[in-house]
Amino acid sequence: MIRRVRLGFVVLVAVLLQTTVFTHLRIEGVAPEVGLVCVLAVAYEDGADSGAIFGFVMGLSMDLFAPTPFGLIALTYAITGYAVGVFQAGIVRSSPFLAPILGGVGGLFGGLVFISVGALVGQSGFLSMASLKTVLIAALYDALIAPLVFPVVRWAAREPEGGGLRDWRALRSRRNG
């Protein structure tokens, strides 16, 4: 329960940052995908299923403020979260450069999924050099903010130590057993 509240707070803060602060902190007219970086952190911490579910919820929240078809960001974030979650199983977890690398590569992958799916659903101009330039700049920006976002989101995604239902049941069975 506490984990869900913390992740809900992450969604709220990411949407607020995306729609307020980062609208003014653009590079070449491009803002980072704060929500996507949060999804990458959850997928890295918890794996494919959690990455996809959190990605879908985060994406739906971002879709509320986007001029694109509703659900496009949710689908993009869910696919990206799932892919990073599958990929994370083979990653050595001790590199200090992991957050920016995942932020950049995940941002690039997510951006490419976004413009591809957007083009498939009929969004004009999505398959262009301008879109590719935007994706590349956003991926670099995502890599820059990832070291700040990852630790916070990974903390929020962790299960609280002790006090959970499983711990209570285990304690009770030891007393009765």
Phi–psi pair at 27, nearest 5 degrees: -115, 120
Q: What is the CATH number of the domain that holds 148?
A: 1.10.1760
Number of domains in the chain: 1
Give the pLDDT of residue 133.
93
SS3 per-residue string spanning 35-55:
HHHHHHHHHHHHCHHHHHHHH
Reduce the DSSP state of residue 121 to 3 states and report it: coil
Give the pLDDT of residue 46.
87
Whether the pLDDT of residue 104 is over 60: the answer is yes
Which region holds residue 121: left if phi is over 0, alpha if psi is between -120 and 50, else beta? alpha
Across the range 2-29, mean pLDDT stands at 90
Paired residues of 27 in beta bridges: 30
Distance of CA 45 to the CA centre of its chain: 11
Q: How confident is the model at residue 154 (pLDDT cuts 50, 70, 90)?
A: confident
Is 38:12 a contact under the CB 8 Å cutoff?
A: no
Residue 98 carries which DSSP code? H
Q: pLDDT, tens digit, for every residue of 127-148? A: 889 899 999 999 999 999 999 9
Q: Which structural domain range is residue 7 located in?
A: 2-176
Q: Between vectors from CA 33 to CA 28 and to CA 39, what angle results, nearest 5°? A: 160
Q: How confident is the model at residue 34 (pLDDT cuts 50, 70, 90)?
A: very high
Sign (positive or negative) of CA dihedral 106, 107, 112, 113: positive
Of residues 122 and 15, more confidence is placed in: 15
Q: Report the mean per-residue pLDDT for the chain.
A: 86
Across the range 141-157, mean pLDDT stands at 90
Give the pLDDT of residue 175.
54
What does the alpha-carbon distance between residue 22 and residue 171 come to, in Å, rounded to a whole number?
47
Q: pLDDT, tens digit, for every residue of 67-100? A: 889 999 999 999 999 999 998 877 666 677 888 8
What does the alpha-carbon distance between residue 38 and residue 106 come to, in Å, rounded to a whole number?
11
Is 137:25 a contact under the CB 8 Å cutoff?
A: no
What does the alpha-carbon distance between residue 149 and residue 37 come to, in Å, rounded to a whole number?
7
What does the alpha-carbon distance between residue 43 and residue 149 come to, in Å, rounded to a whole number?
13
Query: 105, exposed or middle or buried, with CB in 10 Å at 0-12, 13-18, 19+?
Result: middle
